[in-house]
Amino acid sequence: MTRPTLSPTSRSTPRRHPERARTDRSELDGVLDAGLICHLGLIMDGAPVVLPTAYGRDGDTIYVHGSSGARSLLAARPEIDACVTVSLFDGIVYARAAFSHSINYRSAVIHGKARIVTDPEQKVRGLAVVTEHLAPGSWDYTRQPSKKELAATNVLAMDLAEAAVKVRDAGPGCEEEDEAANGIWAGVLPVTYGWGSPVTADFVDANVDVPAHVSQRQWQ
């Protein structure tokens, strides 16, 4: 299936470092699929609030595990302005000038309206998507939510229609005046991510094996 390109709007068009912008829809999916948590931005009492939370992507929808703050905002309105940002931190860029230090990263800043998912089937679907993003293989392995648990959970949904995707994946720049600074090192220090050894909960019998979806989980 051909993915549409991201149609840039004024606020989704980077003003700084436009060369880092990516407009291919697959780049947005790539960032969202590689991230683990998102930062949800809302306006509460006239001020911005940024909350880290879990999310998952389902086609052209991003589901976000909702805060009680979002719920209270959405009690009065069907939808609210929101921003969901997923960023991956790939390395520190050391330059010969302090000014030219930078970060290698991938980020997606999604603008739009967030709504609370009220349809029961879509809510279960949204929770499954968020759970599977956080812990692939867990949804089918574990007990699915009871009605009471579903009622105690908020799931927000946003369309993936307006997003700014940026990628920096390069070495440092070198200003002309620093070219002669031959003794000064410059380069990139990459970040490495991985999973440690699973720690079994106290209440689990010693003879229960760690399931493969946990023990063999690969860093995305």
Restricted to residues 176-205, the positions that interact with a second copy (CB under 8 A) are 177-179, 181-205
When the beta carbons of 1 and 190 are compared against a second copy, the nearer one is: 190
| Nearest distance in Å: CB 5, a second copy | 22
Under 8 Å CB-to-CB from 212, ≥6 apart: which residues?
137
Kindly list the distances between the CA atom of residue 30 and the CA atoms of 75, 108, 218, in Å, as whole numbers in the listed order: 33, 10, 16
Whole-angstrom Cα distance, residue 58 to residue 2? 16
Options 8-16, 19-27, 55-63, 115-123: segment touching a second copy (CB under 8 A): 8-16
121 touches a second copy by CB under 8 A: no
When the beta carbons of 3 and 43 are compared against a second copy, the nearer one is: 43
When the beta carbons of 2 and 183 are compared against a second copy, the nearer one is: 183
Among 61, 69, 122, 168, the residue binding a second copy under the rule CB under 8 A is: 69
Q: Are 88 and 35 a contacting pair, CB within 8 Å?
A: yes
- Residue ranges in 31-50 that form contacts with a second copy under rule CB under 8 A: 36-37, 39-50
Among 58, 103, 115, 122, the residue binding a second copy under the rule CB under 8 A is: 103
- As given in the structure block, the two tokens for residue 96 are 């010969």
When the beta carbons of 3 and 9 are compared against a second copy, the nearer one is: 9
Among 8, 30, 159, 211, the residue binding a second copy under the rule CB under 8 A is: 211
- As given in the structure block, the two tokens for residue 151 are 């009622």
How many Cα atoms occupy the beta-carbon half-sphere of 130 within 13 Å?
21
21 touches a second copy by CB under 8 A: no
- As given in the structure block, the two tokens for residue 91 are 């390395």
Among 31, 82, 157, 158, the residue binding a second copy under the rule CB under 8 A is: 82
Q: Are 174 and 96 a contacting pair, CB within 8 Å?
A: yes
Q: Are 19 and 169 a contacting pair, CB within 8 Å?
A: no
Options 24-32, 56-64, 115-123, 169-177: segment touching a second copy (CB under 8 A): 169-177
144 touches a second copy by CB under 8 A: yes
Tally of CB atoms within 10 A around 163: 30
Class of residue 30 by CB neighbours under 10 A (exposed 0-12, middle 13-18, buried 19+): middle
| Nearest distance in Å: CB 159, a second copy | 14
